[in-house]
């Protein structure tokens, strides 16, 4: 298991601090500042003058130094000195004074931690199996593939003007502990004979209309991972309803086009993205030798 190198951007934080100062001095209007604030993972709260800061932790992984940075920020800038761990493997800090949010982002950035695109109409924190790297049943530690996806999509133009949020998970075997069946996009490691690769799920979700994801690709190879993911993201950008937020998720596209129609559109985009990303290095992991015995079904290992 590895940790991504720094995801933070010093120039980006300086730009946020400048905009924050202008907003507090009434030189920048609320609408423009709100867009920038949300891009940096700073949510508004119902309480006046305070905000929630969401810290993005791909795969839920933390080093001691990064955990220390979060603890220092919580002690200094959160009145209750409490941090909340979320179901998307993030950490949230509530009741942070707006004027102090720039200092929070800067301290986190010193240890490579980012809040970028942790909220808003973006690809949210990408999650993985809680046992990634140590589970005896996994085909591969999906950490390398998850890190490759994060590096590809963070700050990617495709990810800046999406119709609605987009959630992705990675699972190391068919048990799907990361719950790809309820994600916009689920990547599940699998084997097809002696070949190692992934199944691609799309259209899952909960909310007011729960929907189980469908399989859009039974098997793709490692080098096809980023093109397959980008194909589903592109479908969201091209076809999701930008006028009705409540219906702007991948699951509604599956309903709209039907399963066969959605898969057909995925295959069209997949052919295009494979050509467009042909020269891009693919994330590669270490795969275990194929094992004999029953293939696990959905559900955490026992």
Q: Is the pLDDT of residue 119 over 80?
A: yes
Residues 103 and 184 in one domain: no
Q: Quote the number of domains for the chain.
A: 2
Residues 15 and 137 in one domain: no
- What percentage of residues in the chain have a pLDDT greater than 90? 91
Ranking 103-117, 239-253, 262-276, 283-297 by mean pLDDT, the lowest is 283-297
Structural domain contains residue 282: no
Ranking 2-16, 18-32, 70-84 by mean pLDDT, the lowest is 2-16
Residues 64 and 187 in one domain: no
pLDDT, one tens digit per residue, over 263-280 is 999 999 999 999 999 999
Residue that wins the pLDDT comparison between 219 and 193: 219
Structural domain contains residue 2: no
> Which pLDDT score, from 0 to 100, does residue 6 have?
84
Q: Is the pLDDT of residue 240 over 80?
A: yes
> Which pLDDT score, from 0 to 100, does residue 292 have?
61
CATH number of the domain bearing residue 91? 3.90.480.20
Residues 159 and 99 in one domain: no
Residues 54 and 168 in one domain: no
| Band (5; pLDDT cuts 50, 70, 90) | confident
Edge-to-edge strands, sheet with 91-97: 42-44, 50-55, 91-97, 83-85
Residues 56 and 137 in one domain: no
Residues 229 and 198 in one domain: yes
pLDDT, one tens digit per residue, over 40-67 is 999 999 999 999 999 999 999 999 999 9
d(CA 148, CA 69): 24
Q: What is the mean pLDDT of residues 93-119?
A: 97
Q: What is the mean pLDDT of residues 115-122?
A: 96
Residues 143 and 243 in one domain: yes
Q: Is the pLDDT of residue 289 over 90?
A: no
Contact 139, 288 (CB under 8 A): yes
Structural domain contains residue 247: yes
Residues 184 and 211 in one domain: yes
Residues 246 and 272 in one domain: yes
Q: What is the DSSP string of the chain?
A: ---------HHHHHHHHHHHHHHHTT-S-HHHHHHHHHHTTEEE-SSTTEEEEEEB-GGG---HHHHHHHHHHHHHH-TT--EEE-TTS-EEEEEEEGGGHHHHHHHHHHTT-B-TTSSSSSB---EE-TTTTT-TT-SB-THHHHHHHHHHHTT-GGGTS-SS-B-EEEESSTT-TT-GGGSSEEEEEEEETTEEEEEEEE--B-TTS-BPPEEEEEEEEGGGHHHHHHHHHHHHHHHS-SS-GGG-SHHHHHHHHHHHHHHHHHHHHHHHHHHHTTTSPPP--PBPPP--SPPP-SS---
Domain, as residue range, for 138: 127-276
> Which pLDDT score, from 0 to 100, does residue 299 have?
60
Q: What is the mean pLDDT of residues 151-161?
A: 96
Structural domain contains residue 116: no
pLDDT, one tens digit per residue, over 62-103 is 999 999 999 999 999 999 999 999 999 999 999 999 999 999
Residues 135 and 260 in one domain: yes
> Which pLDDT score, from 0 to 100, does residue 302 have?
44
Q: What is the mean pLDDT of residues 133-153?
A: 95
Structural domain contains residue 290: no
């Amino acid at each position: 298991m590895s940790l991504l190198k720094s995801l933070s951007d010093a120039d980006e934080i300086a730009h946020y601090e400048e905009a924050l100062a202008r907003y507090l001095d009434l030189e920048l209007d609320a609408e423009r500042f709100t867009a920038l604030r949300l891009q940096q993972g700073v949510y508004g709260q119902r309480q006046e003058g305070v905000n929630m800061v969401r810290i993005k932790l791909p795969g839920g992984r933390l080093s001691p130094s990064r955990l220390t940075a979060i603890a220092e920020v919580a002690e200094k800038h959160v009145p209750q000195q409490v941090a909340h761990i979320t179901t998307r493997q993030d950490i949230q800090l509530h009741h942070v004074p707006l004027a102090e949010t720039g200092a929070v982002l800067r301290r986190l950035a010193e240890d490579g931690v980012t809040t970028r695109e942790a909220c808003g109409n973006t690809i949210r924190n990408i999650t993985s199996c809680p046992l990634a790297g140590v589970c005896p049943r996994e085909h591969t530690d999906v950490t390398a593939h998850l890190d490759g996806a994060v590096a590809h999509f963070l700050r990617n133009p495709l990810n800046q003007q999406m119709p609605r949020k987009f959630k992705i998970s990675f699972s190391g075997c068919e048990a799907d502990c990361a719950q790809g069946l309820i994600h916009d996009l689920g990547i599940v490691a699998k084997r097809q004979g002696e070949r190692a690769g992934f199944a691609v799920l799309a259209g899952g979700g909960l909310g007011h209309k729960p929907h189980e994801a469908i399989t859009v690709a039974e098997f793709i190879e490692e080098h096809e991972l980023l093109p397959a993911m980008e194909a589903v993201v592109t479908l969201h950008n091209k076809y999701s309803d930008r006028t009705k937020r409540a219906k702007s998720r991948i699951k509604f596209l599956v309903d709209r086009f039907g399963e066969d129609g959605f898969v057909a559109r995925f295959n069209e985009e997949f052919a295009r993205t494979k050509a467009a990303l042909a020269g891009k290095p693919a994330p590669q992991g270490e795969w275990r030798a194929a094992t004999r015995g029953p293939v696990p079904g959905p559900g955490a290992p026992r």
